[in-house]
Structures are given as structure tokens and as C-alpha cells.
Amino acid sequence: MARTSSESALVVGGGPGGMMLAYLLGRAGIRVTLLEAHRDFDRDFRGDSLHPYTLELLDELGLAEPLLELPHEKARQFRLHTTAGSVTTADYTRLRTPFNYVTLMPQARFLDFMAERFRSLPGCELRTGCKVTELDERDGRIVGAQGIEADVVIGADGRHSRLRRLADLPARSLGARTDLIWFRLPHRDGDPPDADVDLFFGRDHYVGLLTGTEGWQLGYSVPKGGYAKARDAGVEPIRRFLDEHVPWLAGRTHLLTDFTQTTLLSVDISRVQRWWRPGLLLIGDAAHVISPVGGNGILMAIQDAVAAANRLVPALRQGPVPDHVLAAVQADREPAIKLVQDDQVRIEHRAARARESGRPIVPAKLLRLITALPGVRRRAARANAYGPNAPRLSLP
């Protein structure tokens, strides 16, 4: 659609939410400048999963087929493993969609793919290595950043959002009780072919395992704030846990030799009370931080982008975005975010109570009974694949 006026948007943050929103706005004929603090996307992200909702959206945009030509893995089930046995809690193959799996692809590869498509749109510019240190304000309204004027500024700069701080929109912690120590181990011939997205539980810890094109990505749980104690203990306890609970990895755990091979993911679940100020809107982790458990942080950010684009494009064609439109984006998305975060907080607290009391974190026998019921695995897969109240793109 050709541009007919000078409407413009400034998106700060080139993660999945910011990149998708910038692309959707540009595709609708809006002039967009996207600022990314890093010089490229070639770094190690912790979220590499693209859910069926995202793949269906990309298919609607004509992008799914070329994206899936890039190297990726397909996760078709989600499993929990305990000392009492293993349980498949979600089976994506039962979903009625051509994309009945979760795509596991390095986030950098996905962002590079989207950045190339964004740059090809008329009136769209991506500037890397651009850190925003100031917001431009006039008569109580945000009118740009770093000297770049815009009819709306989008803060999509992640869980440590600088725009959130500059706009004085503080996030409130909802009570995460766990941190994760991330590291990688290589694939080997003979690895279980059905190991896609798995959680392995012990008494005091669990390990999340994701397959990918660059090997196995693993997250070892520690109590909130327990990283320093774990680091002092060294990697041997992690190796022992893997040897006991993920025995098929035992032949390569010796490759984890030092804590310098790990990174800390400080798990957070938090939300900003108001996601906007006149002229400014926060989306994704800038507005609400999602726990990595369940792998739906990217999904929530992409859905924010869709809901925001549906509201912003018609408004931008009239000029600066009114406050009621920004408030409407939050009203569209906040109920779903609250549901997801409430579930995550319950899981965090349940795991903490189990850890403190010495009880198993997951009651495997009960789960096995529940997941044996017809339709439960499909419903669980659908809930994770789409999230609650998934928005649909309403732009032409």
C-alpha cells in the first residue's frame, strides 16, 4: 500500500516483538525507523522457539516458506521426566494446522531474516549500534528519541528496557523463585530422536533441554539468587545431575569443564502497570517479562506486535497516535499476559515449596493419569502453541 502522508513510527529494540511490529507497520505503508543497540544480531539468545501461531502469521505474510528453508529443528512434543517415569504433556502433532510443531531456530537467524525483509520495504530504515539515551518530549508528549521525530515511539527493548526507565514506567516483580544456568552440549549420533523440548526433574533441581541446529541447549535450575553458590561449587554438581537424570548425555558432560562456559538467566516475571505514555508504547518484555519456562516469551512479544499494528496503523494514517489508542493496545493484550504470568507464578511457587520441603517438584503419577485422558495433550499443546486470546492480524 503506497504512503500518502508523513506518518512515522520509531521502534526501539530489534528483538522479535520490535522487529515484527516494525515490519507490519512498514508493510502497511508507514514510515518506520528501527533502532537496535547492538551492531548485529550475532549473539547467543536464550529464546529460540517459534510457535505455530507465529508460523501461521508468517505464512499469512508470505514469509513462512522462505524462513523454513533455513536450518531449523521441529519440536513435536513436550515431555516431563521424573524418577517415577516420563510423561508427554503436550502433543503438537494433534493440532489442526500445517505447522503442528514448534520451530527451534537460533533467534539471531530469525532476526536476520526479518531484518532483511524489513529493509526491503519503502520508507523503512534499520539503524544498528544505536543506543537510546534520551526521549524527546514536547508539552507532556513523547515526540521522538535521540533527535528522531515520530508520531509514535515503541519501546521494544527487552526485559532491561532503557525506554521504560527513561519514561518512568516501572515494572513490578510478581515473584520469580528460580534462576537458570545456561550452557550447550553437542549433538551425537544415537541421541533420542524424539528429544525436542524436555524437562528433567530431580529433588532440588531440574534441567530444561532444547534441541537446535547448534547442539543441545540446557538450563539448570537454581534457587533465586543461588548463582554465586552454584558457581563456587563448580560444574561437577551439574554434571552429576545430568549423568543421573539425563543418562544419554553422560558421555559428553565432561565437555562442561568450567563456569565460563555457562551464562546466567535471571528468571523474572514482572509487568508494568501502564504500558504507555502520550506518544509512547511499550511491548514485549519491555512491558511484561515472561519466564522462559514454556518458551512463550517470543510468542507473547509477537502477539503484542500484531495487536499493536492492528490499532496503530489506522491511527498513524491520521497523524500522531491518540492516548486512547495506546491504552487500547494494553487493554487488548493485558488479560492474556496476566493469565500467562499468573500460571508461571503458580508454577514457580509450587516448585519452590517442593524444593524447600524435599517433595518431588512434579507429581508424575498424577500427571500420567491426567494426560492419559483423551484430548488433554492436544489441549495442552494448543494452549502453548497459541496462548490465550491470540490476536489475529486485521490489516489488509
Q: In this structure, is the dihedral angle defined by the CA atoms of residues 89, 347, 106 and 310, taken in order, positive or negative? A: positive
> Which pTM does this prediction carry?
0.92
pLDDT computed for residue 363 by the predictor: 62
Decide if 34 contacts 11 (C-beta within 8 A): yes
Q: How far apart are CA 294 and CA 316, in angstroms?
A: 35
pLDDT at residue 289 tops 50 = yes
User: Residues 305-360: pLDDT tens digits?
Assistant: 999 999 999 999 998 999 999 999 999 999 999 999 998 888 787 777 766 666 65
pLDDT computed for residue 395 by the predictor: 87
CB atoms within 10 A of CB 229: 10
- Average confidence (pLDDT) over 268-290: 96
CB atoms within 10 A of CB 236: 10
pLDDT at residue 364 tops 80 = no
More confident residue, 186 or 197: 186
Confidence of residue 125 (pLDDT cuts 50, 70, 90): very high
Q: How far apart are CA 33 and CA 24, in angstroms?
A: 13
- Average confidence (pLDDT) over 135-164: 95
Q: How far apart are CA 131 and CA 38, in angstroms?
A: 8
Confidence of residue 142 (pLDDT cuts 50, 70, 90): very high
pLDDT computed for residue 345 by the predictor: 87
User: Residues 237-259: pLDDT tens digits?
Assistant: 999 999 999 999 988 999 999 99
pLDDT computed for residue 205 by the predictor: 87
Region of 285 on the Ramachandran plot (φ > 0 left; ψ -120 to 50 alpha; else beta):
alpha
pLDDT at residue 101 tops 50 = yes
Candidates 366, 359, 361; CA nearest to 351 is: 361
Q: Report the side by side order of strands in the sheet with 206-210.
A: 85-91, 77-82, 197-201, 206-210, 216-223, 178-185, 263-265
Candidates 143, 206, 177, 351; CA nearest to 266 is: 177
Q: How far apart are CA 96 and CA 88, in angstroms?
A: 19
pLDDT at residue 151 tops 90 = yes
At what angle are helices 376-386 and 364-371 packed, to 10 degrees?
A: 100
Q: Looking at 6-15, 140-149, 155-164, 195-204, which range is the least confident one? A: 195-204
Give 339's contacts (C-beta < 8 A, 6+ positions apart): 388
74 to each of 198, 248, 295, how far by Cα in Å?
13, 20, 14
Decide if 325 contacts 311 (C-beta within 8 A): yes
pLDDT computed for residue 306 by the predictor: 98
Scanning the structure block, which residue is given the C-alpha cell 506486535?
A: 305
pLDDT computed for residue 4 by the predictor: 35
pLDDT computed for residue 2 by the predictor: 36
Confidence of residue 281 (pLDDT cuts 50, 70, 90): very high
Mean pLDDT, the chain, as a whole number? 90
Confidence of residue 150 (pLDDT cuts 50, 70, 90): very high
